[in-house]
Chains A and B, each alone.
Chain A
């Protein structure tokens, strides 16, 4: 289609630019704030250019944390968040790829029922089933453990559905060719299905990593020890202080640090995505 309407084009760019500024400005502000000292931020005279406190702020945040609140170093919170996010991402991929494999390729009694039960859990997000889940995790003595953080969040149907939809597009002849080539169900899964699913796995990994990293309610409930805190909770705790001033420079630095891993995951995985998309056969 040939389009030559400079005015419309200009308008489109204008709207997009305004949109980007609205979204990006607060982020920019957080980055700037993380390079200034507490006084500069508090007196409202912070400039829009980076200050000179970056080294101090990032060092303190990562290794010491706020002086007057929880006092937990953000570095260890990030380790907690990372373990939780990775655990959820990998656990979910493993469970959903296996369950989708079972539902699509095996003919067992109540297969449809099994699928629908999995499907129904879509309607039950963590928040809805949070009390029973808490009860179970507490009874199993998994409060303040990584297992307790990870396990309940692994169980949900999104991944299973995603893989199921993908498996349905894999031609039946591939399975039949594998059978004739002497590959059993597990070999077919390992040698053919998983290599073909790489892009789906990457997509699910990105989604689940960010989902895990951004969890707030669940870690808030089951972690009591400050050594088990995740970074999202850490930020929240820094902001609600009593009797003392919020250390905004530390809070902002933490916010910037908390943004980094999801951004890195997206950037890194996007390359794999694109590569996968280009290589995928129609």
Chain B
């Protein structure tokens, strides 16, 4: 086992396009690290550089204590699971898993032992003789994982492995990947654009945008204390509401003429400074007046079963509130929203950075 260390890793494509702009990251041995971000943020490129499928334009990638910049993918002691699984269509499931081991000259009985063991862990023993096309999506996914497991690598790399599965299977496989990773204890790096996958799987969540890291932390940290407006609106569903506001004084901001209290606010902000006020749809108490309150004009209601989403406007900006079904009558036109000062996030409109306590 080994950790992975990235030091100002860059990727510059032909035509001077910088896809990854100096990323530094420490991934501890045995941890599950998820890179999440919108498409084109460089997360897949970064993963492929760790795998050795893309050359590294600058910086160093270390697996364990070894700098692997110039080492062939096969010799980096990694295994990768691809989005479309990349199973060899003409080989049986057994051969698909055994191929890598055969290429490195592993003895036959050892190959058999490892493949059988991986098949048992993944419950695909009965398909070993089949070809990939005879398997369902979920089974192919398992074979792809099996191919990674038999290698006994130092690092698992996952490139959006669940995005080709239907929603139900995705949840099931997600749980399985997590369980497997805990059981094997292998350092894993997982790329996804799905924030639910990112939140549920990761020990360490890395939010990327525009080739740079926006924030690194535990999923709970990233959710509770987003460092930038991008992270705030990217993590969480429905996304965080952002309202324009101005500073009134220490611990108070004004939104559309209504004053609300804020716990986490940088000191020394002068009155009148424009700020962006972030409120999560699930953090706002609708219908009851609290310490501070905002009023919202409701446009329409979305039913989600257990909850309802009220769409409308607060101080002229789009706003969404999540409430348990039945808590508020669906035909309500005007809502009073109680705001807990601890749940208010402030961002600088220019730098989009968090204006929290230092």
Answer whether residue A133 sits at the interface, using C-beta atoms and an 8 A cutoff. no
Number of contact residues on A: which range applies? 10 to 19
User: Which chain A residues numbered 167 to 214 have a C-beta less than 8 Å away from chain B?
Assistant: 171, 173-174, 176-177, 179-183, 187, 191-192, 195-196
Given A180-B79, A180-B100, A182-B100: A174 and B74 interface contact (C-beta under 8 Å) = no
Chain A min CB distance to B98 (Å): 10
Answer whether residue B104 sits at the interface, using C-beta atoms and an 8 A cutoff. yes
Chain B min CB distance to A188 (Å): 10
Chain A min CB distance to B157 (Å): 9
Answer whether residue A281 sits at the interface, using C-beta atoms and an 8 A cutoff. yes
What A residues does B133 contact at CB under 8 A? 279, 281
What A residues does B175 contact at CB under 8 A? none
Q: State whether B53 touches A176 (Cβ < 8 A).
A: yes
What B residues does A192 contact at CB under 8 A? 88, 90
Q: Encode contact with B along A258-282: 1 for CB under 8 Å, 0 otherwise.
A: 0000000000000000000001010
Q: State whether B86 touches A182 (Cβ < 8 A).
A: no
Answer whether residue B132 sits at the interface, using C-beta atoms and an 8 A cutoff. yes
Answer whether residue B26 sits at the interface, using C-beta atoms and an 8 A cutoff. no
**In the bound complex, how far is the Cα of B91 from the Cα of A181, in angstroms?**
14
Closest-by-CB residue of B relative to A170 is: B89
What DSSP secondary structure best describes chain A's contact surface?
A: helix
Closest-by-CB residue of B relative to A176 is: B53
Which of A173, A177, A183, A191 has most B Cβ within 10 Å?
Answer: A177
Q: Encode contact with A along B89-115: 1 for CB under 8 Å, 0 otherwise.
A: 110000000011001100000000000
Which of B74, B79, B87 has most A Cβ within 10 Å?
Answer: B74
Q: State whether A181 touches B53 (Cβ < 8 A).
A: no
**In the bound complex, how far is the Cα of B90 from the Cα of A176, in angstroms?**
16
Q: State whether A196 touches B90 (Cβ < 8 A).
A: yes
Answer whether residue B72 sits at the interface, using C-beta atoms and an 8 A cutoff. yes
Chain B min CB distance to A152 (Å): 35
Answer whether residue B73 sits at the interface, using C-beta atoms and an 8 A cutoff. yes
What A residues does B100 contact at CB under 8 A? 180-182
CB within 8 Å of B: which residues of A?
171, 173-174, 176-177, 179-183, 187, 191-192, 195-196, 279, 281
Q: Using A174-B88, A281-B132 as known contacts, list a sample of 7 further A-B pairs with CB atoms less than 8 Å apart, ordered by residue number in A.
A: A176-B51, A177-B87, A179-B53, A179-B72, A180-B53, A180-B78, A181-B147
CB within 8 Å of A: which residues of B?
51-53, 72-75, 78-80, 82-84, 86-90, 99-100, 103-104, 132-133, 147
